[in-house]
Structure 1
Amino acid sequence: MSEQFRPPQPRRRRADRHLGDKDQIEQKVNQQPLRAGFPPEEEAPLPLGGYDAAQAPQRIPPRNASPLVYEESAPAQRPPQPDYDDDYYDDDLPPRRWPLVLISLIVLLGLVFIGSHFLIPKNATGILGQVKGITTKVVDGGLNLLGLKKYDPPKLIKFDTPESTVQTGVKTVFTFTANKAINGIRVLDEVGSEIKGVTEAVDAPNNTTWTLTAILDRPMSEMVLSAGILVDKTWYQTDKTVTLNVETPSLTPEPATASPAPTDTPEPEPSQADEASAEAAAMLIPPAADEEAPASDPPPQPETSPATIVDLLPSFTAPPASGAEAAETPDESIPGDMQAEFPEEDIPEDMLAEFPEEDIPEDMLTESTDDNTPEDMMAQANTDTDNQPQEQPEQPEQPETAKPAQAAAPATPTPMPALTVTAAEDQAPSKFKLTESTYKGSKRQSDFKRETPINAQGGELYTYYPGGVFTFRGDGMRQNAAFGTAEMPLNQMSIHWQSDLGSLRTESDTLYGLGWTSQPAIIKWSVEVRAGMNLNDEKKDVKALKEVIVAAQDGKIYFLDLADGQPTRDAIDVGYPLKGSVAVDAFGRPLIGVGQGISKLRGKTGSIGYHFFNLIDQKSSLFINGRKIKTQVQYSTNGAFDGTGLFERNSDSFVVAGENGLFYTVKLNTVFDFKNPTTLTIDPEIHYLRSKIGKQDNTSVSIEGSPAMYGSYAFVADKYGVLRCIDTTSMKTLWVFDTGDNTDATPALELGADNSLSLYTGTSVFSRSRKAGDAVIRKIDALTGEEIWKTEIKAKYEKSERGGIKASPIVGQQQIAELVIFTVNLTEEGGAIIALNKQTGQEVWKTPIPGGAISSPVAVYSKDGSARIVQGSLDGKLYLLDGQSGAALSTLDLGGAIEGSPAVYNDILVIGTAGRDNHKLYGIRLE
């Protein structure tokens, strides 16, 4: 059917524009022409059929009104069409896909979530551990919301004591270990009565390992004690128990086992010979009693060792007391005759009587040069005494008794004089608006006064016996890190052994090997201590064992034999990077301390602070929390310990400073029996000093270096550059010196011939000296705080705080006694080692280190007093330099960055690397 005819639109007329109404215009335009015969505006007649006329359809307005066009040439306008629902064009529009994509993503994430929750193990670490933790929290939260989560309360997995037999009146430590955090602990006896004591969370804030220290006051046989834990204010008594035998201490010690053969009354000479032949230390077991009575009968004068080090060693003062003085102050727990056999000045003489002076470091406190074991030697000595009691005066032993007098000079160093610090007027703390407070826990201590003053000694007096490198830079004076001498006719170095170290991923980086300042400790243990430690079986029998102990950035403390680099025992795994150096107890007891540098790993955050471990079973003895907690008030929130502490043997104390800005003193109260070295316990009393000057902010009080000490005075410097002298007796700052910028390098002390005390220190180029670009080396009068001289060295700024002086200096001795030697990083040459005149501060020699250096140098002396300097660089090279001229004698490329510092024992140098492809510990032969 053809399309309906539509007449064309009539032409518009100009008159239409006068129509004001739009509808009239449209009606005029769209009006159909009228048929002839009908007048306009007149309706047509109705049809004759009598039906209603159909209504005209209502016109639907167009979608868009057409504009009025008046031009004559305008094209014909198409009439608007009705707007019906089915008039849309059937276009092929693309479908909307985003809902499908969204649903797919939700399903995919759900599958990943479910897979992560069920497939990742619970003990996963790193990124997987973090994902596992998130999914577990979400699932547990959902189950708790629905009431479907089963509550799994904490469980006690271990409850024990160090010994099964204890004595009344003696502290007994109970250890609790739970699988989750608990709020408290208690111990109940067989009738349900609580054992009162002091509780402590060892691993706070994790609160999974606790100790309870109690004193049992009544003897009991096989007393069963049960452990209880506190969870959310509710006590739960567990099924963990211990059985103790509580005994009353005997007033008379049991006698030592006598030799089967009868003996006569021993003479003094054989008694000293017995000690020398047994090669014991100051703590050696005395000869057996001479009574013929059975072992069960107590002799008139028993000679057995008491339970504590205080009983074994009659004098704790630095200057060795005479025999008469020792006898005037006897220990009530030891018979007078026994004390007379242990005057402090006689111990080194007896030990050194059989050996030349140069062999002291190798043979003291260990077996003799023959192949007999200590037990064989002691038995042989006793047998000789028994069989020939009257022949001793006739044998050529009288000349030998004169040998101790000849060896006494090197064995008994000159006591350090008592000095007094008085601040210069410009260095008074009030000039710097210093505010400080001493605390014990969270309680401020007003007018603090230490009952037993700390009396730190330097050089050979730092340790009770010369047995190696016990702490960072040797001792409290912090002058060097070498023990013994080394003849180096070839002036060269070679790799003697090497041992692999690990790595650890932190939150922001991966750390390798040894970092700054990690310096090894090298210790020659006494025979008694070595027998009680958990050494490997093959190493317990090694004569004159010298053990290397080093803390690494993989979170482990390694133990190796200096002779071959093989492990002497399993490593202690702290689990977090360790950057500080190991400090060993100055008495030679099996106790060490080390600082932790980082607490955040990938997907894991732990505690951070200073760790103490006993080396009998390698368990933790003490943890000083570096973070701000309820029982510790501090300015800085940084809890790291990069510095190394000092064991002070005269007061049985420990001194250390942390990056939280606090200066700590710890009274250890150590209990250890050298004759029965199966346990070591401490009962610490911790005090700390919080201080800052007026213009310091809270983050700049951080102390990264180690404290130097002389007597009761400690010297520390912080990130802002505030150098302080602290009196540990009153815990007050005596003088203040502003160095001008961050001071990370540990200061070094030197006692002058005129009893002056000098302090050498240097700054890095960091925030305050960044524009000037000068590292400043100073000599300061340690007794007044006044500057004696200063030398400025050009160095560059680095964000990691490595520009300038990070290494601790060498205070020269013997043939280089007029020099102090500093290492400077990021100089124009890359780095340099510089020798300055002690009196004037003028440069004597300077050797470039192109790769840069932050490792502390070490001086190695020969018997004639000549010195050689060993310096490690950041590009992995070891430099051997002449101490007097600075001339390079040889180099050795280790292939990995050297950040930590070396330690030397005679002709073996131990140092570690920190490179990604090379992170090892090396034993270097000095030839």
Structure 2
Amino acid sequence: MRIKRLFFLLLFLTVIASILLVLTSKKPSDTNASQKDITTAPTITQNASPSEMPATPTPTHAPVIETVTPEYTQHVINPKDVNPDILPVYDGDNAFAEYAKEKKFGDTVFKFWHFLGFDIVTSDVENPDIYFGAADSYTDVEGITTFRGNHYRDSAAYGTRRVAEKKLELVWTKDIGSVSTGSSYWPGVGWTGQPLIVHWDEDIRKLMNIKSEFKNIDLVEVIYPTLDGNIYFLNLEDGKPTRNPINIGFSTKGTGMIDPRGYPILYTGQGLNQNGDNFAHHEFRIFSLIDQTELFSITGTTPEAFRVWGAFDPSPLLHKETDTLIQPGENGILYRIKMNTDFNRETGDLSIDPEVTKYRYEGIFDPNIGFENSPVFYKNYLYLADNGGLLQCIDINTLEPVWIANLEDDTDATIVLEETHEGVFIYTGNEVDLRAIGKPQPAYADCQLRKFNALTGELIWERSYSCIYQNGVNGGLLSTPVLGKNDISDIVIFNICKTTDWKSGKMVALDKKTGEEVWVKDLANYSWSSPVDFLSDEGKTYMIFCDFAGEMHLMDPANGEILDTISVGLNVEASPAIYNDMVVVGTYAKKIYGIRIK
């Protein structure tokens, strides 16, 4: 009897304990996990989706960032001895292999490092909680404030326009200069060379050192860093200077950025380190546009970089909510900069106190590294391709790679991103460069156009076109694709260089879902310039593109028909930007052009 009672007592206690275990197991296991970040997915995983932003984020304690201060071997490098053909050195005195962090992708071990200033971060980096929203939320400013307009890099046109005549009309030109670099000559505006066009708020306009005749009008200002070493400021309406140029003294090839909060701050990178007999290391510079003073700069040739070539061709982005700047460099370093901006709109007092965190990596598919394309974002995921054909998806908050892919050759054209009901995708294409160097000229290889799942790295489709490399001039894709929207939402348009001979090109519209050709336009003259699509008031999409022969074309992107052509002097490597009915672009003719769409 006692045994039975004992048995039933033990059974009763077991049932009670089981019930308590079930109830307590329903408590969340990780109450501090950020719901903003995209769920990390292996490269072969499909159907990954980003987490939703929490209604009320759970506060977390700031982590302790652990660093070591390394002893750098200081090599005094004369800028005259720095050129882009010098390969990265991964086993030099400042490699610091013992502090490398690693991530495996299949059988591939990917090595990367974190720096805070010049100290090496041995712990996790600080998480700034960066989360980019929709493309149309990037900027508070009317206009085009960065390359291709936003963090999806899908629009270089702003405003409205009526297209009745389907014609282009020259309105104004502005003469600019050139530089020489020994045997090379760099006139006008180069690649990617897109102008910035800004409609300033009235209170900001009145704070700045704009000429009196423009101070009290509803100014739309063109801001244009160029090859002649100057940054020009022009009135969109007539091309007249709105203020004196900023003279850097060395060429800008890429595209700058205006602060997307509407703050009077300009960010711009130097592309060349020689002007005649003068040499200087590359700098990424930040200017106050209140008085055009330089607020801050970063030198690209730096001891912690594997590569000495320090150009800054990419156009940066700024995350407004966290005051964080993202700037890649051709030295192979990704800079994440907490700006600590302090701006008083009433008094015009402006200051910054940058804190620089860096991501450095080792090339794996090819020894070449370094970024020339501009960063693309989906929420907290950053997409960049490099000079060695390495495509990375990087979590900007952890500064760790999420997935990687081999693009097989130098990839300078900026990626474009699309968010759809079916998923998030990126479109990219490579050049004919590394595969052709050292071969008899002209050398041939395929330019590969690709669509990837942006969250997993899965290759959706690929299409190839044979292209030519000749005498150091690359063929393939140098321009950013046009992502079809509205009435052409089913296609993506690529502008491919040197497809038949040294001067010809090919423009192709591919079906987004399948990669099949919708239309193909053979071009007598190739183009590095990125085409720009725009919507008319009538709901019809048109496209502007420029070419090597110095011509600007108005095209119907639905079928590839050229509707009108106008001369802009000489070769156009730069990419146009459109504000309402005005197109602005600089060319090798040493001029900036303002052209009206009619």
TM-score (norm 1): 0.53
Please list the CA deviations of residues 153-179 of structure 1 after superposition, one character each: whole Å capped at 9, or x if unmatched. xxxxxxxxxxxxxxxxxxxxxxxxxxx
Q: Could you tell me how far 1:464 is from its partner in structure 2?
A: 2.3
CA RMSD of aligned residues (A): 1.8
Which residues in structure 2 correspond to 1:803-842 (within 5 Å)?
803-828=475-500, 830-842=504-516
Equivalence for 1:590: 264
Q: Distance in 1 between matches of 2:364 and 2:527?
A: 34
Contact map agreement 1:640 1:659 (CA 8 A) in 2 = yes
Please list the CA deviations of residues 111-144 of structure 1 after superposition, one character each: whole Å capped at 9, or x if unmatched. xxxxxxxxxxxxxxxxxxxxxxxxxxxxxxxxxx
Please list the CA deviations of residues 715-754 of structure 1 after superposition, one character each: whole Å capped at 9, or x if unmatched. 1111110000011111101110001111010101010124
Q: Distance in 2 between matches of 1:554 and 1:602?
A: 11
Q: Distance in 2 between matches of 1:880 and 1:819?
A: 18
Which residues in structure 2 correspond to 1:212-231 (within 5 Å)?
none
Equivalence for 2:425: 758
Matched residue of 1:780: which SS?
strand
Q: Distance in 1 between matches of 2:284 and 2:337?
A: 12
Contact map agreement 2:430 2:448 (CA 8 A) in 1 = yes
Contact map agreement 2:544 2:554 (CA 8 A) in 1 = yes
Q: Distance in 1 between matches of 2:457 and 2:288?
A: 38
Contact map agreement 2:37 2:131 (CA 8 A) in 1 = no
TM-score (norm 2): 0.81
Q: Distance in 2 between matches of 1:418 and 1:822?
A: 31
Q: Could you tell me how far 1:802 is from its partner in structure 2?
A: 2.5
Equivalence for 1:339: none
Contact map agreement 2:147 2:194 (CA 8 A) in 1 = yes
Pair 1:783-2:455 in alignment: yes
Equivalence for 1:685: 355
CA gap of 1:459–1:532, structure 2 versus 1, over 3 A, is: same
Equivalence for 2:411: 743
Contact map agreement 2:363 2:388 (CA 8 A) in 1 = no
Which residue of the other structure, out of 448, 454, 479, is the alignment partner of 2:130? 454
Matched residue of 2:476: which SS?
coil
Contact map agreement 1:432 1:693 (CA 8 A) in 2 = no
Equivalence for 1:773: 445
Which residues in structure 2 correspond to 1:510-589 (within 5 Å)?
510-543=185-218, 545-589=219-263
Matched residue of 1:528: which SS?
helix
| Poorly superposed stretches of 4+, deviation over 6 Å | none
Contact map agreement 1:664 1:688 (CA 8 A) in 2 = yes
Please list the CA deviations of residues 376-405 of structure 1 after superposition, one character each: whole Å capped at 9, or x if unmatched. xxxxxxxxxxxxxxxxxxxxxxxxxxxxxx
Which residues in structure 2 correspond to 1:695-710 (within 5 Å)?
695-697=365-367, 700-710=368-378
Equivalence for 1:881: 555
Which residue of the other structure, out of 413, 422, 445, is the alignment partner of 2:41? 422
Matched residue of 1:529: which SS?
helix
Contact map agreement 1:423 1:783 (CA 8 A) in 2 = no
Is there any run of 5+ residues in structure 1 with no aligned partner, and where? 1-416
Q: Compare 582-591 and 887-896 and name the one that shifted more.
A: 887-896
Contact map agreement 1:457 1:476 (CA 8 A) in 2 = no
Equivalence for 2:91: none
State the one-letter code of the partner of 2:432: V
Q: Distance in 2 between matches of 1:801 and 1:609?
A: 25
Q: Distance in 1 between matches of 2:465 and 2:164?
A: 34
Please list the CA deviations of residues 271-330 of structure 1 after superposition, one character each: whole Å capped at 9, or x if unmatched. xxxxxxxxxxxxxxxxxxxxxxxxxxxxxxxxxxxxxxxxxxxxxxxxxxxxxxxxxxxx
Contact map agreement 2:44 2:457 (CA 8 A) in 1 = no
CA gap of 1:702–1:452, structure 2 versus 1, over 3 A, is: closer
Q: Distance in 1 between matches of 2:40 and 2:581?
A: 39
Matched residue of 1:683: which SS?
coil
Contact map agreement 2:365 2:388 (CA 8 A) in 1 = no
Q: Distance in 2 between matches of 1:799 and 1:782?
A: 35
Equivalence for 1:485: 160
Pair 1:865-2:539 in alignment: yes
Q: Distance in 2 between matches of 1:454 and 1:507?
A: 43
Equivalence for 2:570: 896
State the one-letter code of the partner of 1:657: P
CA gap of 1:749–1:421, structure 2 versus 1, over 3 A, is: farther
Which residue of the other structure, out of 498, 506, 512, is the alignment partner of 2:173? 498
CA gap of 1:586–1:751, structure 2 versus 1, over 3 A, is: same
Equivalence for 1:657: 328
CA gap of 1:500–1:478, structure 2 versus 1, over 3 A, is: same
Which residues in structure 2 correspond to 1:592-611 (within 5 Å)?
592-611=266-285
Q: Could you tell me how far 1:515 is from its partner in structure 2?
A: 0.3
Contact map agreement 2:191 2:575 (CA 8 A) in 1 = yes
Pair 1:854-2:528 in alignment: yes
Equivalence for 1:63: none
Equivalence for 1:282: none
Q: Distance in 1 between matches of 2:269 and 2:235?
A: 23
State the one-letter code of the partner of 1:649: K
Which residues in structure 2 correspond to 1:151-170 (within 5 Å)?
none
Contact map agreement 1:428 1:734 (CA 8 A) in 2 = no
Please list the CA deviations of residues 189-244 of structure 1 after superposition, one character each: whole Å capped at 9, or x if unmatched. xxxxxxxxxxxxxxxxxxxxxxxxxxxxxxxxxxxxxxxxxxxxxxxxxxxxxxxx
Equivalence for 2:312: 641
Q: Which structure has greater strand proportion?
A: 2
Which residues in structure 2 correspond to 1:366-445 (within 5 Å)?
419-425=38-44, 429=105, 431-445=107-121
Q: Compare 503-512 and 529-538 and name the one that shifted more.
A: 503-512
Contact map agreement 1:802 1:854 (CA 8 A) in 2 = no
Q: Could you tell me how far 1:769 is from its partner in structure 2?
A: 6.1
Q: Distance in 2 between matches of 1:490 and 1:737?
A: 46
Q: Distance in 2 between matches of 1:704 and 1:846?
A: 28
Highest RCO, 1 vs 2 (Cα 8 Å, sep ≥ 6): 2
Matched residue of 2:290: which SS?
coil
Is there any run of 5+ residues in structure 2 with no aligned partner, and where? 1-35, 46-102, 438-442
Contact map agreement 2:427 2:451 (CA 8 A) in 1 = yes
CA gap of 1:904–1:428, structure 2 versus 1, over 3 A, is: farther
Equivalence for 2:346: 675
State the one-letter code of the partner of 1:576: F
CA gap of 1:492–1:574, structure 2 versus 1, over 3 A, is: same
Equivalence for 2:390: 722
Contact map agreement 1:584 1:647 (CA 8 A) in 2 = no
State the one-letter code of the partner of 1:751: E
Q: Distance in 2 between matches of 1:832 and 1:789?
A: 19
Equivalence for 1:249: none
State the one-letter code of the partner of 2:350: L
Matched residue of 2:417: which SS?
strand
Q: Distance in 2 between matches of 1:428 and 1:906?
A: 48
State the one-letter code of the partner of 1:788: I
CA gap of 1:432–1:879, structure 2 versus 1, over 3 A, is: farther
State the one-letter code of the partner of 1:689: Y
Equivalence for 1:507: 182
Q: Could you tell me how far 1:801 is from its partner in structure 2?
A: 4.4
Contact map agreement 1:593 1:613 (CA 8 A) in 2 = yes
Contact map agreement 1:757 1:782 (CA 8 A) in 2 = yes
Equivalence for 1:413: none
Q: Distance in 2 between matches of 1:803 and 1:489?
A: 36
Equivalence for 1:694: 364
Please list the CA deviations of residues 606-635 of structure 1 after superposition, one character each: whole Å capped at 9, or x if unmatched. 121211101011011111110023xxx111
State the one-letter code of the partner of 2:183: S
Contact map agreement 2:365 2:406 (CA 8 A) in 1 = no
State the one-letter code of the partner of 1:691: Y
Q: Which structure has greater helix proportion?
A: 1
How many residue pairs get matched?
Answer: 500
Contact map agreement 2:113 2:360 (CA 8 A) in 1 = yes
